[in-house]
Structure 1
């Protein structure tokens, strides 16, 4: 049976309905979910199994006991349930409450950003970062996708990539305007897709189109990697703090800055030539004014 839960279904109710079916090991999993309902949906079976000193096979059996075909199917339903409950306003209210409770809002915010950056140092896969740099180095035209708050990251990438000689194409609208530039995408191009928390229909469309055109994909994300990793050549994933919190863009912006600096180092001759040319043009512009 393939259980498909309604977005706002109570998982406590589902656990209660199957309580008599759980083994002792599976009851440990239930207890873990009940204590960690904000974090658990975004952990893999291996991560939870390690924390509980269980096997991954036990995690799979647990999902099937609940009526799911696999553990990834259960996790997808848990994430859907979480996202339906955790609205932007709820996350912001919670964040403001936490900061006020701690006292100085600015001080606590800076401290939490430092904590998230420190965590990102441990979790960002350096081999993936190196692979992303190589894709950037070897592709002239780069499409950059991002919506909502991620548009500021699109701006950053567009400016910096243009400065080092790349042809950067923005994909930062969710309407029909995004379709025309997408038609230019081909196998000799590169797509950098930026997305967090929700896998939007527009993001799905862009990723599917890139795959159809055989365009390599770099995905910058926090929790979406497991959902769309098969659509990306490289996933640059780092958590931005608790999933239920209101997030800034400090961590993904740092990842992008690291990517751009590593590109400049790997392709220094070409990058410096373009920057020198830019400086010359700026000097001429100043002289003409």
Structure 2
């Protein structure tokens, strides 16, 4: 039996290459698959055929016309496309489905834990103590710190600003002051630091903030994943890390771990400023008389 040609990696290419062989039943099946590839990746051929209103054997015939041994192999191709997260299936829903597909055999919690551990292990290979120190020295020597992230990184920017304030630094979470960005940047100067966070894609607003910082001479630090590594002009210091391979949980633990390392290193080099501020805050919180529910 002759070996089959390699399967194209994008479903659209696969359909185009075999378009002259497709029947009306095939077209109905493909419409169902393309309308909801996430669901198609989880169903067997009989279920997909039922939704398309065609004979159950039609799914097998379609798979073979596309170059697969049967429908399970075609379903595996759809799952692989989800895991790669590109082409026809690049969407948040597809990425979540990919993680569910990958977790089918070993259990969901174990899959998430394995993904987080693997992503954290990768940090050892791409981030050094020198990278951490470059961030912490910049923070120690500045006047004010403006932290800015959008989307998933917004929660981390809020936590970073909170921890820096408790450590005795004048830190502003710009994400909480979106309606006052012009006022915040009007006083930005070359003694300030702008700490940017960006995951998956860099929003236009992050690019604009970077441009303002450069124009005003403020130093920029950037903590990004590999998908959002490109900033122009380049920051003075940047740490770019993988938050997980395609089809794995895109970890927030990884950038949070790096941010924690920076703040810890800052405490090691600021001559007791962080430690004293934390002690003062602890005392104030205990004696302020404010309701504990607020603290």
Structure-1-length-normalised TM-score: 0.66
1:126-174 Cα deviation digits (max 9, x unpaired) = 3222111110111131000001111110121111100111111112169
Paired with 1:191 and 1:234, the residues of 2 have a C-alpha distance of 11
Does the alignment pair 1:92 with 2:117?
no
State the distance in 2 between where 1:165 and 1:97 align.
46
Do the aligned partners of residues 198 and 11 (structure 1) sit closer, same or farther apart at CA in structure 2, a change above 3 Å counting? farther
Give 2:167's match in structure 1, choosing from 164, 167, 170.
Answer: 164
Go from structure 1 to structure 2 and tell me whether the alpha carbon gap of 1:103 and 1:281 turns closer, same or farther (over 3 Å shift): same
Q: Distance in 2 between matches of 1:269 and 1:124?
A: 26
| Structure 1: gaps spanning 5 or more residues | 1-8, 14-80
1:102–1:108 CA contact under 8 A, matched in 2: no
Partner of 1:251: 254
Q: Given the superposition, is the C-alpha separation of residues 94 and 119 from structure 1 closer, same or farther in structure 2, using an over 3 Å criterion?
A: same
Runs (4+) of structure 1 moved beyond 6 Å?
9-13
1:147 to 138, 146, 150: 150
**In the aligned structure 2, how far is the partner of 1:145 from the partner of 1:241?**
22
Alignment CA distance shift 1:273-1:134 (3 Å): same
Deviation of the 1:82 alpha carbon:
5.0
The CA RMSD measured in Å over matched residues stands at: 3.0
Partner of 2:265: 262
**1:40-77, Cα deviation, whole Å (9 max, x unpaired):** xxxxxxxxxxxxxxxxxxxxxxxxxxxxxxxxxxxxxx
Q: Aligned pair in 2 of structure 1 residues 85, 111: CA closer, same or farther (>3 Å)?
A: closer
Q: CA deviation at 1:266?
A: 1.1
- Taking the TM superposition and a 5 Å limit, the aligned residue runs for 1:106-145 are 106-145=109-148
Give 2:284's aligned residue: 281
Residue in 1 aligned with 2:82? none
Q: Is the 8 A contact 1:229 1:235 kept in 2?
A: no
After superposition, the Cα gap between the structure-2 partners of 1:92 and 1:247, relative to the gap in structure 1 and judged at 3 Å, is: same
More off after superposition, 213-222 vs 82-91? 82-91
Preserved contact between residue 208 and residue 231 of structure 1 (Cα < 8 Å) = no
Counterpart contact for 1:162–1:168, Cα < 8 Å: yes
Q: Could you tell me how far apart the structure 2 residues matched to 1:106 and 1:132 are?
A: 34
Higher alpha-carbon Rg:
2
1:197 aligns with 2:200: yes
